[in-house]
Structure 1
Amino acid sequence: MFMKAEATRDLIVNSADELFYQHGYGRTSFSDIADAVKISRGNFYYHFKTKDEILDAVIDVRQVNIQSMLEEWEAEWPEPLDRLKRFANMLIVNRGKIIRSGCPVGTLCAELTKLDHVAQNRANELFTAFRAWLCEQFVLLGHDADAEADMLAMHLLSRTQGVAMLANAYSDEVFLRREVKQICEWLDTVVQRN
Structure 2
Amino acid sequence: MGAGETRAQIVDVADWLFYERGFEATSFADIARDVGLSRGNFYYHFKTKDEILGAVIALRKAKTKAMLAAWEERAASPAESIRSFVHILLMNRAKIMAHGCPVGTLCAELAKLDHAARVEANGLLDVFRAWLRRQFERLGRESDADTLALHLLMRSQGVATLATAFRDEAFIRREVADMEAWLAAQIPASSTLEAHRPD
TM-based fold match above 0.5? yes
Aligned to 1:164: 160
Contact 2:11 2:56 in 1 (8 A): yes
Out of 175, 179, 183, the residue aligned to residue 179 of structure 2 is 183
What TM-score do the two structures reach when normalised by structure 1?
A: 0.96
Q: CA separation in 1, counterparts of 2:82 and 2:66?
A: 16
Aligned to 1:151: 147
What is the correspondence of 1:122-137 to structure 2 with a 5 Å cutoff? 122-137=120-135
Contact 2:141 2:188 in 1 (8 A): no
Q: CA separation in 2, counterparts of 1:161 and 1:22?
A: 17
Aligned to 1:120: 118
- Report the CA distance between 1:75 and its aligned residue: 1.2
In structure 1, stretches of 5+ residues that fail to align are none
Q: CA separation in 1, counterparts of 2:189 and 2:48?
A: 51
In structure 2, stretches of 5+ residues that fail to align are 191-199
- Report the CA distance between 1:144 and its aligned residue: 2.2
- Report the CA distance between 1:192 and its aligned residue: 4.3
Aligned to 2:30: 32
SS of residue in 1 equivalent to 2:37: coil
Out of 54, 57, 65, the residue aligned to residue 56 of structure 1 is 54
SS of residue in 2 equivalent to 1:55: helix
Tell whether 2:170 aligns with 1:174: yes
**Aligned pair in 2 of structure 1 residues 37, 163: CA closer, same or farther (>3 Å)?**
same
Matched letter for residue 33 of structure 1? I
User: 1:11-42 deviations in whole A, cap 9, x for unaligned?
Assistant: 00000000000000000000000011011011
SS of residue in 1 equivalent to 2:140: coil
Out of 24, 39, 42, the residue aligned to residue 41 of structure 1 is 39
Farther-moved stretch of structure 1 (74-83 vs 130-139): 74-83
Q: CA separation in 1, counterparts of 2:84 and 2:170?
A: 18
Aligned to 2:102: 104
Q: CA separation in 2, counterparts of 1:151 and 1:62?
A: 25
User: 1:133-158 deviations in whole A, cap 9, x for unaligned?
Assistant: 0000000011125xx10000000000
SS of residue in 1 equivalent to 2:115: coil
Q: CA RMSD in A?
A: 1.0
SS of residue in 2 equivalent to 1:169: helix
User: 1:22-80 deviations in whole A, cap 9, x for unaligned?
Assistant: 00000000000001101101110000000000000000000000000011101111300
Matched letter for residue 160 of structure 2? A
Contact 2:32 2:39 in 1 (8 A): yes
